[in-house]
Amino acid sequence: MSYQVFARKYRPKTFDDVLGQDHVVRTLKNAIEQKRLAHAYLFVGPRGTGKTSTARILAKALNCPNGPMVDFDPENDLCQEIAEGRSLDVLEIDGASNNGVEEVRQLRETVRFAPARGQFKIYYIDEVHMLTNQAFNALLKTLEEPPEHVKFIFATTEPHKILATILSRCQRFDLRPIPADTIASHLQHIAKEEGIALDDSAAWAIAKGADGGMRDAQSMLDQLVAFCGDSIHEENVLDVFGFTSRETVASLVGALLARDTPTALGLVQREADAGRELSQLLGELIGCLRALLIAGLDATTGAEGIPAETWKSLTEAANAYPSERLLSVIDVFAEAEGRMRWATNKRLHLELGLIKSIQALGEVRISDVIKVLAGAADQFQGNGGSPSPERTALPPSEPKAPAPSEATPEPAPVATPVPTPKAEAPSKGALDIDALIDAAPDVAEEPPAPIKTESSKPEPTPEPEKAKEADDDFYKDPLIQKALTMFQATLK
């Protein structure tokens, strides 16, 4: 017998063999057992998730001896004919090459004939979205009221291209991407059957690279066997397909959270020199950041295949930042991913994304300033003007700058810029909020004089000279002067 690739040799034969699609399998089983069979089914899902295999299994269950039956014998002659695509009662049609009106008219002529051996005449149309609108319209009446012995099964990866009138006449089943751990487990099963030593880390790397498609994972394993022989390690997977190891992704995320720009850029350079696919690296990076963001809300979530000790250190580093900072970093990388899709120099956009994301982690935002000032004001009001020993602080990751001098600068006229004391500028453009709070006790000791008003009389309009004096009093307020000093601002 000629050699068969793993994707064909290990194709599911029964409902129990279908992996990762329990919701579809359960519904079809119940429909068969309860004799609630529809006349048209539509299977939707990404490539390699089991659309054609599920359609063939359904055809076997309908046309098997003494059927319809859920627990049929896949080795039966009828089932073997359906599996090999040579059954006269199960016609598999390629929608890409038979998408015209003439092909649909021929199909309408053949539906009148009774099945040869089974109970039903089944038409399976793959990539049904490739049919033209005229072909869809020619199929409408037959699809809505087919003969009792006819069943239609459609499969597509792009359901939005199918006419709504067709969709409304079918029972739709959405097949989901298969989880990576399920794919890795099945690859280990295939390796055991074939006598291949497959490392767990290698199986996980293949499963992540397959991106939810079982057929892609089986094809990759087949290629690795041809390359490596009977022993496959993670390094082989990375070298053949250009994937990035989990340790590299964890190291890059760790450097990002530590705001270590040279280390992060060095890791990108190393991966680029090794011929790794940088788009795949960015996708892994975004996935790890997403997992860290969710882990901050639910500690029971998965670790994206990263070792436990490394994952623990990453979660501790991520907890030092508020969730909105991680969200902003993911947004930066999402923009970089969109630019990398069409760019020739992918490394440039990845490096720019890393630099911007590190800056986003270290920057002080206006919301942080408002929170600190609002907290300080609440403390003064709650303590009768005396400062509280507790203070509202920025996230612990913010850089600290030396406190400026406690001396208050001389007040200046409105049109003259306020002199700024010579103090060391905060690093990375951050604002020294702690120093501003430290200055608050001086402000509380010298509160501004209250303005006396008479409630019985409306407040008179101040004369220009008095208004100017009031403005001068406002600008001479110690708190205003201290804020101008700390923010290095001027009044105009």
- The answer, yes or no, to whether residue 204 has pLDDT greater than 50, is yes
- The answer, yes or no, to whether residue 41 has pLDDT greater than 90, is yes
pLDDT at 376: 62
Q: What is the pLDDT of residues 333-372, one digit of tens each?
A: 999 999 998 888 999 999 999 999 999 888 776 766 776 7
- Which residue spans of the chain are classified as CATH 1.20.272.10? 246-362
Mean pLDDT of 198-210: 90
- Which residue spans of the chain are classified as CATH 1.10.8.60? 180-241
pLDDT at 99: 82
How is domain 6-174 classified at the CATH fold level? Rossmann fold (3.40.50)
Q: What is the mean pLDDT of the chain?
A: 80
- What DSSP string describes 236-269? HHHHHH----HHHHHHHHHHHHTT-HHHHHHHHH
- The answer, yes or no, to whether residue 393 has pLDDT greater than 90, is no
**CATH numeric code, 246-362:** 1.20.272.10
Q: What is the pLDDT of residues 223-261, one digit of tens each?
A: 999 998 889 999 899 888 888 888 889 999 999 999 999
Residue that has been written with the tokens 């490596």 in this structure: 228
Mean pLDDT of 26-37: 93
pLDDT band at 454 (very low <50, low <70, confident <90, very high): very low
Q: What is the pLDDT of residues 152-181, one digit of tens each?
A: 999 999 999 999 999 999 999 999 999 989
pLDDT at 436: 47
Separation between Cα atoms, residue 285 and residue 423, nearest integer Å: 39
Locate the DSSP E strands across 203-362: 231-232
Separation between Cα atoms, residue 199 and residue 228, nearest integer Å: 13
Percentage of the residues of the chain whose pLDDT score is greater than 90: 41
Mean pLDDT of 440-464: 48
Mean pLDDT of 139-144: 88
pLDDT at 51: 93
pLDDT at 408: 44
Q: In angstroms, how far apart are the furthest CA atoms of the chain?
A: 108
Instruction: Return the minimum-mean-pLDDT range out of 81-85, 268-272, 452-456.
Output: 452-456
pLDDT at 445: 45
Instruction: Check: pTM over 0.85? Answer yes or no.
Output: no
Q: Which residues contact 334 (CB under 8 A, 6 or more apart)?
A: 286
Cα atoms found within 13 Å of the Cα of residue 251, Cβ hemisphere only: 14
Burial class (CB in 10 A: 0-12, 13-18, 19+), 37: middle
pLDDT at 435: 52
pLDDT band at 492 (very low <50, low <70, confident <90, very high): low
Do the beta carbons of residue 460 and residue 453 sit within 8 Å? no
pLDDT at 1: 57
pLDDT band at 380 (very low <50, low <70, confident <90, very high): low
Percentage of the residues of the chain whose pLDDT score is greater than 70: 75
How is domain 180-241 classified at the CATH fold level? Helicase, Ruva Protein; domain 3 (1.10.8)
- 464 vs 390, higher pLDDT: 464
Q: What is the pLDDT of residues 268-309, one digit of tens each?
A: 999 998 888 888 899 889 989 998 988 888 777 767 777 788
pLDDT band at 100 (very low <50, low <70, confident <90, very high): confident
pLDDT at 430: 45
Instruction: Return the minimum-mean-pLDDT range out of 12-26, 118-132, 269-283, 293-307.
Output: 293-307
pLDDT at 154: 94
Q: Which residues contact 187 (CB under 8 A, 6 or more apart)?
A: 198, 203, 206, 207, 217, 218, 221
